[in-house]
Chain A
Amino acid sequence: MPNIKIIKQSGILSWNKENINEAPGSCGVYVLRSSPINGDVVDVFAADNIKENILQELQKQNLSNVTFFDWYETGNKEDADLLLAELEEKYKLHQKT
C-alpha cells in the first residue's frame, strides 16, 4: 500500500455549517456518513478544494441521510486520489453486487 501523506484530518464531525466552515480550502478527501459507526458511509469524494465542495454538497436536496462527515487534507491530487481509492475499497463503495 503506497504511503499516503495526510497533512491534517478532522475526525468525525456533525454535518453542520459551522464544522464545514472549518474545513480547509485545499486538496484532499471528504467522507459523508449517515452515522459515526464504521461502515455507515454514504459516499467518499476527492476534491481540489475540500471546503468549497462540501459547501456545495450541503446545498443538495438529496443528502437528507448525511448526518456526519470527516475530511483529510492531503495537499496534492495524487495522494487525494490514492486515499479516495483506499477508502472506497475499505467501505466497499461503488461495487456491483
Chain B
Amino acid sequence: MSIKLTQLDGSYAGGDNEDNDVEIILGSDILLEVIPRKSIIHSYQPLKDFIETKDLLKSKNVNYVGELVEYSELLRDRLAHHVVTQEGYKSRKERYKDQENKTTEGSEKEFYSRRHKRTEEASKELLEENYNDLIEISGKIKRIENEFAPLLSTTSNHYFCKNCYWFVGDEKIPPFCANCESIININDLDKNLISASFTFLSGKVASYLEGKWFEDYIAKILKKADWEPRCHSLTVGVSGERHPVDVLAAHRKKIRVLIIECKISNSSFGAKDILSFIARWNDIKCDAGIFVVMNKCAGLPPCHKLIRRTPGLTFLDDLYGFSDKEIFVKINKAIQGVTGDAESESEDEKKEGVDKMHEAEENI
C-alpha cells in the first residue's frame, strides 16, 4: 500500500516562508497536520545537554537556570539604565553649557559653570557606581556557570571610557568618547577604554530557559514510553485554525494522540490559558490532554475544575524534586487515567505494557 498526497492549492508551495514544512501524522482514525517551528535547542548543544541531565527536576541545574535567567535580565536592565542615565546627564550638561555661553560675565555665568561642573562630577560618580554593579552581576553569573555543567552563557566585551565611565559600545569603537571627548586610539584601546567582559545568557537562550525547556523535558520523558513527541509546533484543528501546542505526541502502537500544555508554576498561567488549552484540545480532537505544572500549585483559577470534569483531560502538578523515573510513572498514570488504556487492555497487553514500562524505567 502506498500513501499519495495531492495538493489542491499552493498553501504548501516552496518559498522562504518558514512555516513551509508540514508533517502529516497518519494512523487509524488519525490525521494530523503539524507545522514544526524552529527552536534554539536544535542548534545549541549546551541546551541539549541541559535537557538530557539525568533527573533534571531533582538536580541543582534547574535552580541554576533560574538564577542565570534572573541575573542576565538584571544585567540587561542595569546596562539599559546606564545608557539612559548617561544620556540624561549629557543633556543636562549641554543645557548648562548653553546657558553659560549665553550669559555674560557675572554670578549667573558662574552659577551655570558650577552646575555644569557638578553635573559632570555627579555623572562620573553614578556611572562608575553603575559600572561596578554591572561587573558584580556578571561575576555572579560567571560563578554560577562555574558550578553548572552545560555552559549556557556567552561572554563578550563591552567598552567604557576610562575617564568618565561612558558606555562607548560593544563592536565598532568610535574615535573619541561622546561625553568627555577623550581620544580613543583604536590600536591602543587599553589607554582610554575599560574593556568589561560580561557573561550573560543571550536573548534567545534566556527566552528558551524561561519555559520552553520544560516542554522539551516532558517530550524526553514521553519518548521513553514509545510516544513520538513534537514540541513547539502548530497543529491544525478541525476548524482549520493553527494552534500552538507545547507538546503533541502520538503513540506508535496504541495509535493515540496526546497534547500537553507545560507551565513552570501557577504564577505563569491564568484562567485564559486553561480555557485556551481546553478549546485547543477540543478542536484538535486528540485522545487525551494534560495540563502539566512543574511546581506544586496553590490557588488555581476556578476554571481549572473544567479540566478535571472533562473526560479526556487531566491536570498534573508537583513534578519538581522528582526523578525522571518518578515523573515518568506520574505522566504514564495520568495518560492511562484519561485514555482508559489500563482498563481496556487484555491481560497479555497489560503484561506487555508493564514489562515495557519497567524496561523504560530501567533505561531512565
Chain A interface (Cβ < 8 Å from any Cβ of B): 6, 9-14, 19, 34-40, 67-68, 70, 72, 87, 90, 97
Contacts and interface: CB of A to CB of B under 8 A. Distances in A.
Given A6-B172, A12-B167, A37 B79 contact: yes
Interface stretch (B101-109, B197-205, B255-263, B298-306): B197-205
B172 A37 contact: no
Given A37-B75, A37-B200, 16 more contacts: A6-B172, A9-B169, A10-B178, A11-B168, A12-B83, A12-B167, A13-B87, A14-B87, A35-B79, A36-B79, A38-B198, A39-B154, A67-B80, A90-B171, A97-B38, A97-B43
A39 B156 contact: yes
A68 B203 contact: no
Nearest to A35: B76
B232 interface: no
Interface of B: 38, 40, 42-43, 75-76, 79-80, 82-84, 87, 154, 156-158, 167-172, 174, 178, 198, 200, 202-203
A14 B88 CA distance: 10
Given A12-B167, A14-B83, A97 B42 contact: yes
Across the A-B interface, give the 6 residue pairs with the lowest CB-CB distance, nearest first. Answer: A38-B170, A38-B156, A97-B43, A35-B76, A36-B79, A40-B203
B171 A87 contact: yes
A4 to B, nearest CB: 9
B203 A34 contact: yes
Contacts of A72: 172
